[in-house]
Amino acid sequence: MKKAHLTKERLDKVLAHLGLGSRKEIHKLARAGRITVDGEVITDAGFKLDPRSARIAVDGEEVFYREFFHVLLNKPAGYVTSTQDRDGPSVTHLLEMVRDDWMPVGRLDKDTEGLLLITTDGELAHRLTHPRWKVPKRYYAELAEPATQADVEAFAAGFELEGEPLQPAELTLGKDRRVELVIREGRYHQVKRMFAARGNRVVYLKRVAFGPLELPEDLELGESRYLTAEEEHALYGAVGLEPGV
């Protein structure tokens, strides 16, 4: 359950939340008379307001309040799915808005490319990765050896991976050594370990879909964008939640 909203919040906190600068920077904007609330110049950055109803403008440009932010990133190889630089640079370095509450949803290995959702909504992230909701994740893979119909049947039936039972997965054979795989759980190195269990090896891996989200063809490696309203509604709906503000 989401926490209850406070009726009023400090102006500097609201604008910092929206990525318009640090609180110190926002205090400078206020003192310079560059912020208005409901048409009035506000020089006190500690001014309290209801951000969901107040009309806020900075340098004459209206800004709109959002409680949560969601970014779709086309992750390149070489970046780690973490908010800290561990064994490589964090994927958060690729985002335009610097925040300390970004949460990557699920993991992509350092050498894996493709669709990575990054959000500030902890409940949404939890549900999207919890096995209960069985959110599908679709991957494109290139293998060391061609996959077989026997692999398709084994994945569909589900099998044990190092003593742990896997949910059924959908393997689609492509040309040569190319395949697509849909899984509904997110175990450590799962795709690579599944093929290794079948005596094969993944040489290239890319996530192309996550739940209702598809990797846009025009989103280049390393680029990101905010979710559209339609994508946001579909994503929340997939796990039984109402979209945030």
pLDDT by residue (tens digit) across 137-160? 999 999 999 999 999 999 999 999
* pLDDT value at residue 86: 81
Whether 59 sits among the annotated catalytic residues: the reply is no
Quick one: how far is CA 231 from the chain centroid?
Answer: 12
pLDDT at 245: 56
Tokens of 172: 């689609």
Q: What is the pLDDT of residue 231?
A: 97
Q: How high is the pLDDT of residue 98?
A: 86
Q: Active site residue: 12, 59, 109, 151, which one?
A: 109
Domain spans, the chain? 9-63, 70-238
What is 70-238's CATH superfamily? Pseudouridine synthase (3.30.2350.10)
Pairing of strands 137-143, 113-119: unpaired
- The pTM assigned to this predicted structure is 0.88
Q: Which residues pair with 41 in a beta bridge?
A: 36
The CATH number of 9-63 is 3.10.290.10
pLDDT of residue 1: 38
In this prediction, residue 3 carries a pLDDT of 44
CA distance 231 to 36: 32
Query: 118 vs 35, 58, 147, 243, CA distance in Å?
Result: 30, 27, 32, 15
* Contact between 35 and 11 (Cβ < 8 Å): yes
Residues of the chain with pLDDT under 50: 1-4
Say what the pLDDT of residue 101 is.
93
| Alpha-carbon 160 to chain mean position | 29
Report whether 14 contacts 65 (CB < 8 A): yes
* Model pLDDT for residues 97-148, shown as the tens digit of each residue: 888 899 999 999 999 999 999 999 999 999 999 989 999 999 999 999 999 9
DSSP 8-state assignment for residue 86? S
Query: Which residues make Cβ contacts (< 8 Å) with residue 114, sequence separation at least 6?
Result: 74, 75, 108, 139, 140, 205, 206, 207, 208, 215
